[in-house]
Amino acid sequence: MSNTIFAFGLGIGAQNKEGNWLEVFYPTPSLNVEKSTLDALLESTNYEGGNSTLVLDEGDLNRLHMSLLKAGNIEQAELASRLKASTKPVILCILATDEAPTNPAEVYLKLQLISHRLVQPHNTVLDGMFGLLINTAWTSEGPIDVRELADRQLSARMEGRTIEVFSVDKFPKMLNFVVPAGIRVGDAARVRLGAHLAEGTTVMHEGFVNFNAGTLGNSMVEGRISAGVVVGNGSDLGGGCSTMGTLSGGGNIVIAVGEKCLIGANAGIGIGLGDRCIVESGLYITAGSKVAVLDENNQVVSTVKARELSGQSDLLFRRNSATGAIECKTNKTAIELNEALHAHN
């Protein structure tokens, strides 16, 4: 066995009537675990190596607490002790290697590694995760298997209560699991667990950030960051703009936005942008869009498909107001975010 493991998390799980996991909350997941902590896990639980998900009882947690203290991992030791009071199942999920997840507990650990900023988007394997997650009603009484919702609603009404349903989805709100330091989010429902919000990010009320996607620095998000899309430091996504993700037509192409870019209101991209690029408001560029490339005198020097410009820096995309043609020329200005808006103290 290796002297290190990829990640592990101690958490609290919620199950449906069949005993399947609906969610697992990991308060402080750990990445690249050292040998001393690995030894503590081996000596105090039934962990025998590999990727494994264990349900711990009070005795397990007592032993784990003492072993982690001896290993010098005070944070996880204190968590193990605190979880002894949980009325819900306590889970220990250990990922010896970064492989495709095999159960919901592993999926939730990986999504929370991203949202805790321990792993950036695309830096952990999430293949096949949709098939592992149960369609869930996220309610005022916690997660409920959607197939069990009607019965729970009736029981609640008979007891004089109303269960409020916030959403029906395989993914919960990120902010119900982790609130990273130095961010602002106008509407928590518009940021899914597994989003990566770097310090200095502002997500306005109409902004949206999907899983395995997000920002790498100060950013203003008033548009949509689709699944898999990563936005660089200092970039601004205008109101109603769109980035085409792997689930919305982008296929296997990963769309990235570089640093200090501006995607104007109601604009959209199906190609990547390098640094210091601007897309005019209302202009949607797909990979197959024909683009007239202009020189410094605004003369057309060539016509290419937009995919040939993907990832290049210092470009300005606009639509010719007379002909409607998409044009691209060198961008001689770079946007600067308002520092006052991005001071999240």
Question: Does 212 belong to an annotated binding site?
Answer: no
Question: Does 245 belong to an annotated binding site?
Answer: no
Residue 106 appears among annotated catalytic residues: no
Q: How confident is the model at residue 202 (pLDDT cuts 50, 70, 90)?
A: very high
Q: Is pLDDT of 335 > 80?
A: no
Question: Does 184 belong to an annotated binding site?
Answer: no
Task: Summarize the confidence of residues 297-323 as an average pLDDT.
Answer: 93
Q: Which two three-digit tokens encode residue 94?
A: 């250990």
CA 57 from centre of chain: 31
Q: Is pLDDT of 345 > 60?
A: no
Write down the residue that tokens 């395989």 correspond to. 170
Distance linking the first and last C-alpha atoms of the chain: 44
Question: Does 44 belong to an annotated binding site?
Answer: no
| CB neighbour burial string for 145-179, b if at least 16 within 10 angstroms, e if fewer | bbeebeeebeeeeeeeeebeeeeebbbbbbbebbe
Question: Does 86 belong to an annotated binding site?
Answer: no
Tens-place pLDDT, residues 177-194: 999 999 999 999 999 999
**Per-residue pLDDT at 19:** 95
Decide which of 233 and 338 is more confident: 233
DSSP string for residues in 99-155: ----SHHHHHHHHHHHHTTSS-TTSS--TT-GGGSPPEEEETTEEEEGGGHHHHHHH
Tens-place pLDDT, residues 237-289: 999 999 987 555 444 567 899 999 999 999 999 999 999 999 999 999 999 99
Radius of gyration for the chain, computed over Cα atoms and rounded to the nearest angstrom: 23
C-beta of residue 108 within 8 angstroms of C-beta of residue 92: no
Q: How confident is the model at residue 338 (pLDDT cuts 50, 70, 90)?
A: very low
Tens-place pLDDT, residues 97-134: 999 999 999 999 999 999 999 999 999 999 999 999 99
Q: What is the DSSP letter of 281?
A: T
Question: Does 267 belong to an annotated binding site?
Answer: no
Measured distance CA(255)–CA(263) in Å, rounded? 13
Average pLDDT, the chain: 93
| CB neighbour burial string for 15-49, b if at least 16 within 10 angstroms, e if fewer | bbeeeebbbbbbbebbbebeeebbebbeebbebee
Tens-place pLDDT, residues 36-45: 999 999 999 9
Q: Is pLDDT of 30 > 70?
A: yes
Q: Is pLDDT of 50 > 50?
A: yes
Q: How confident is the model at residue 331 (pLDDT cuts 50, 70, 90)?
A: confident
Residue 149, CB-side half-sphere exposure with 13 Å CA sphere? 20
Task: Summarize the confidence of residues 188-214 as an average pLDDT.
Answer: 97
**Per-residue pLDDT at 332:** 75
Question: Does 152 belong to an annotated binding site?
Answer: no
Long-range Cβ contact pairs of 185-192 (< 8 A, separation 24 or more) = none
**Per-residue pLDDT at 131:** 95
- Burial label for 131, CB within 10 Å (0-12, 13-18, 19+), is exposed
* Global model pTM greater than 0.75: yes
Q: Mutual orientation of helices 58-71 and 74-82 as an angle, nearest 10°?
A: 160
Measured distance CA(135)–CA(12) in Å, rounded? 19
Question: Does 49 belong to an annotated binding site?
Answer: no
For the chain, domains (ranges, CATH) are 5-120 (3.30.70.2010), 137-169 (3.30.60.70), 174-330 (2.160.10.10)
Question: Does 224 belong to an annotated binding site?
Answer: yes
**Per-residue pLDDT at 249:** 47
Q: Which of 23, 106, 222, 259 is catalytic?
A: 222
**Per-residue pLDDT at 314:** 93
**Per-residue pLDDT at 336:** 56
**Per-residue pLDDT at 254:** 72
Tens-place pLDDT, residues 2-18: 678 999 999 999 999 99
Q: Which two three-digit tokens encode residue 97?
A: 């290697």
Q: What's the helix, strand, coil split of the chain in %, to 5?
A: 20, 30, 50
Question: Does 58 belong to an annotated binding site?
Answer: no
